[in-house]
Amino acid sequence: MLEIKNLHAGVDGKEILKGISLTINPGELHAIMGRNGSGKSTLANVITGRDQYDVTSGSVTYNGVDLLDMPPEDRALAGIFMSFQYPVVIPGVNNTYFLRTSLNAKLKHQGLNEINAADFMRLIREKLKLVNMDEKYLSRAVNDGFSGGEKKRNEILQMLTLEPALSILDETDSGLDIDALKIVAEGVNNFRNSERSFLAITHYQRLLEYMKPDRIHVLIDGKIVKSGDMTLAHELEEKGYSWLES
Amino acid sequence: MDKNQQIIDSAISQEYEYGFTTDIEQETIPPGLNEDVIRLISSKKDEPEWLLDWRLKAYNQWLKMDEPNWSKLNYPNIDFQAISYYAAPKEKEKLKSLDEVDPELLDTYNKLGIPLEEQKMLANVAVDAVFDSVSVTTTFKEELEKHGVIFCSFSEAVHNHPEIIKKYLGSVVPTTDNYFAALNSAVFSDGSFVYIPKGVRCPMELSTYFRINAANTGQFERTLIVADEGSHVSYLEGCTAPMRDENQLHAAVVELVAHKDAEIKYSTVQNWYPGDPKTGKGGIYNFVTKRGTCLEVNSKISWTQVETGSALTWKYPSCILKGDNSIGEFYSVALSNNFQQADTGTKMIHLGKNTKSTIISKGISAGKGQNTYRGGVKIMKGAENARNYSQCDSILIGDECGAHTFPYIDVRNPSAQMEHEASTSRIGEDQLFYCNQRGISTEDAVSMIVNGFCKDVFNELPMEFAVEAQKLMEVSLEGAVG
Ligand SMILES: Nc1ncnc2c1ncn2[C@@H]1O[C@H](COP(=O)(O)OP(=O)(O)OP(=O)(O)O)[C@@H](O)[C@H]1O
Ligand SMILES: [Mg+2]
């Protein structure tokens, strides 16, 4: 589904990703771990098409299609979703309206009818329950005044509503309290199926315990230096990253 | 970032949709201004002597005045002798019903989406259409007459209701008020008149559409609305003009009078031609004086404006809060895109006790647009317990535009309660990317964010016009994001 080959990318001439190769098949959940500043969010941003990052070489394909030529909204419409490490505040824009606009963009892209306000409310109420979120967040502006954890839950609410094929979760666990983490992880787990793929970026073993990733990759200075299964996560928890540095 | 800038640019460069001209026989007088021109206008309108004298007096006052230069607007001097002061669609006879209106003209109004047709009865909107300088038709006259509401062209009112006109004309905006008001008083050719009798709630929205068609013509209309004791009226004006390379002058005067317990709600959706988006050539110079007096106790005047058009906008709808407990409100959205410049705001003058004013101003700057809020709140000595709340927000799209805020506050009574809030924000790359990542195009994201920004003002508009304003905002912003 997602195939990254020898990807080099950076900002303003400074290389951040230094040759990343990674393949995620349908139904798989991969995790990426790595120090602060190692390039995890950069990878997520390059996959989703943020303009400020320049790809200098390598390729990213999604279901066989070259992603790098597509504008970010087309990548989103093609089924790629990112839960932001730092969700953005949009003052004045109602949270429900935003999400409905987003869903309608997707429905329209798929040649389906847009969803009306009433049907959408019914849908969103169900999704709210899945992340144990109060309805009052619907009437507020997008992420405006939301606490750190509320923002993260709002991201997952969006994911569950938009039903993307590939979800990139950039430190969705950071900022969530213990109970919330469990709820969100369960939400994601219930959402998993044989078609949907995930790339979860995290610093903590706890999330991985819940999510049971198919594969774990360690990113150091823009390169994947080691890949493995859950035992790798345990090893990292114990020893840190320095033993992996060359 | 660059890609976004391109999209912004292409959105801003959206063509003006109302830029067609109507091929219709016009009666225009040659450019130039002198006493004879004023006499000619007055005689064409078959006006009484007193009104001609009033005009001439205004003209002579105007001659002694200087064009104001305190605004932030930047434009070459206007040659007042190069403008024609009267243009009217040639008409054979007085028009009695819509059927008699020139079909070309009706077609124009249809293109503008103006609810002139009877079908709009459903929408409950009575329309007076002012084409160039002359009022062409007023719909629903009979329905309104049943309630005693007078809604007609200004010229008609001069003939049919001279006592009311005489009493109120210039009572809110005196001829000497300012340069453009003086000019308007001298040469105004038509406009709308509304009178709501005691205790009547006007059964429908009243609406005027202004259209400048002829070249080298100024439009100088005058609107007077009088709401008698305990009455209530909601009035909306809309404006468009063809695309022309020359700048055209629009200098209107609007006077509102609210008596005891009366309420006037005045909404404007202004979409005059803003000039060429790439060169800034052409466009309307919009110099307007709008003022209302809350004459007696418990009266209320509320201005709502959505200003998306014009090359220049110079406009400060104001309230004189004379009656005790009277209320003045100003809700404004002003957009300056490309080469547009707007210097707009309000003045709230508190004279009576317990008077209250609210100012909500939303300025949007895009392209090379310059947007200035200029507002004054004056609490006079006798205005015991006056209150004002002002909120001025600006949003910037791109980095070549500007926003400026000039709040003037003058408090002469210590019991006054003043509250002022201001903010400036920019539509950030992070916000646009966030929207993009949710499948929303940059263009849609900008209009969504801008509409969110304007919500408090749009909410003040009558429902269907709010929808119109929202669409207009989208069109005006197209290409605004990169
Ligand atoms: N837009 C940018 N401009 C300049 N430098 C950037 C930009 N984005 C990322 N960087 C730099 O690239 C490096 C990798 O950043 P990135 O955000 O990908 O790290 P990360 O692995 O997600 O870290 P964390 O665990 O703290 O979230 C950092 O040194 C960062 O400062
Ligand atoms: Mg990161």
- pLDDT one-digit tens code per residue, A162-179: 999 999 999 999 989 999
Model confidence band, residue A237 (pLDDT cutoffs 50, 70, 90): confident
- In eight-state DSSP terms, residue A137 is G
* Position A67 pLDDT exceeds 80: yes
Q: What is the amino acid identity at position A8? A: H
**Are A90 and B449 in contact (CB < 8 Å)?**
yes
Contact yes or no for B158/B51 (Cβ under 8 A): yes
Please report the pLDDT score of residue B365 as a whole number.
Answer: 87
The pLDDT mean for chain A works out to: 94
Contact yes or no for B448/A101 (Cβ under 8 A): yes
| Angstrom distance (rounded) from CA B90 to CA B67 | 33
Q: What is the pLDDT of residues B408-422, one digit of tens each?
A: 999 999 999 999 999
Secondary structure (DSSP) of A10-27: EETTEEEEEEEEEEE-TT
CA distances from B451 to A37, B273, B472, B473, B477 (A): 37, 21, 11, 8, 11
Q: Which residue of A has its CA nearest to B439?
A: A73
**Are B437 and A158 in contact (CB < 8 Å)?**
no
Question: What sign results for the dihedral spanned by CA atoms A99, A103, A109, A113?
Answer: negative
Regions of chain B short of the pLDDT cut 70:
1-27, 87-140, 209-218, 239-247, 464, 478-482
Report yes or no: A90 at the B interface, CB cutoff 8 Å. yes
Please report the pLDDT score of residue B4 as a whole number.
Answer: 46
Please report the pLDDT score of residue B212 as a whole number.
Answer: 56
Contacts of A88 (CB under 8 A, 6+ apart): A142, A143, B428, B430, B431, B433, B434
The pair phi, psi for residue B201, each rounded to 5°, is: -95, 110
| Angstrom distance (rounded) from CA B463 to CA B18 | 22
**Are B436 and A72 in contact (CB < 8 Å)?**
yes
B445 min Cα distance to partner chain A (Å): 9
Q: How far is the CA of A35 from the centre of ligand 2 (A)?
A: 9
Which of A82, A101, A162 has the CB atom closest to B448's CB atom? Answer: A101
CA distances from A69 to A1, A24, B165 (A): 17, 20, 67
Choice among A8-12, A132-136, B186-190, B278-282 with the minimum mean pLDDT: B278-282
Residues of B within 8 A of A157 (CB-CB) are none
Mutant choice from B438, B447, B473, B474 vs A, greatest count of A C-beta within 10 A: B438
Residues of B within 8 A of A93 (CB-CB) are 448-449, 452
pTM: predicted TM-score of the whole model, two decimal places? 0.81
Interface of B with A in 400-439 (CB under 8 A): 425, 428-431, 433-439
Please report the pLDDT score of residue B124 as a whole number.
Answer: 44
How many residues can be counted in chain A? 246
pLDDT mean over A128-139:
90
Q: What is the amino acid identity at position A172? A: T
* Position A77 pLDDT exceeds 50: yes
Residues of B within 8 A of A109 (CB-CB) are 439
- Residue nearest atom 16 of ligand 1, based on CA coordinates: A39
**Are B437 and A81 in contact (CB < 8 Å)?**
yes
Q: What is the amino acid identity at position B157? A: A
Please report the pLDDT score of residue B269 as a whole number.
Answer: 81
* Position A202 pLDDT exceeds 90: yes
Which of A52, A82, A99 has the CB atom closest to B437's CB atom? Answer: A82
Mutant choice from A47, A48, A51, A144 vs B, greatest count of B C-beta within 10 A: A51
Please report the pLDDT score of residue B7 as a whole number.
Answer: 44
Please report the pLDDT score of residue A54 as a whole number.
Answer: 95
**Are B439 and A50 in contact (CB < 8 Å)?**
no
- Residue nearest atom 19 of ligand 1, based on CA coordinates: A37
Mutant choice from B427, B433, B446, B459 vs A, greatest count of A C-beta within 10 A: B433
| Coil, strand or helix at B27 | strand
Contacts of A5 (CB under 8 A, 6+ apart): A21, A58, A59, A60
Structure tokens that stand for A205 in this block: 């073993």
Residues of A within 8 A of B438 (CB-CB) are 76, 98-99, 101-102, 105, 158, 162
- Residue nearest atom 7 of ligand 1, based on CA coordinates: A11
Q: How far is the CA of A16 from the centre of ligand 2 (A)?
A: 12
Q: What is the amino acid identity at position B141? A: K
DSSP strand E in B60-168: where?
A: 87-89, 125-131, 134-138, 150-153
Q: Which residue of B has its CA nearest to A52?
A: B1
- Residue nearest atom 26 of ligand 1, based on CA coordinates: A36
Q: What is the amino acid identity at position B158? A: V
Q: How far is the CA of A202 from the centre of ligand 2 (A)?
A: 9
Q: Which has the closest alpha carbon to B338: B314, B311, B313?
A: B311
| Coil, strand or helix at A63 | coil
Helix pair B35-44, B49-63: axis angle to 10 deg: 150
**Are B437 and A76 in contact (CB < 8 Å)?**
yes
**Are B434 and A88 in contact (CB < 8 Å)?**
yes
Structure tokens that stand for B141 in this block: 């006259």
Chain A with chain B: Cβ pairs closer than 8 A: 77
| Angstrom distance (rounded) from CA B378 to CA B348 | 6
Choice among A33-47, A70-84, A209-223, B29-43 with the minimum mean pLDDT: B29-43
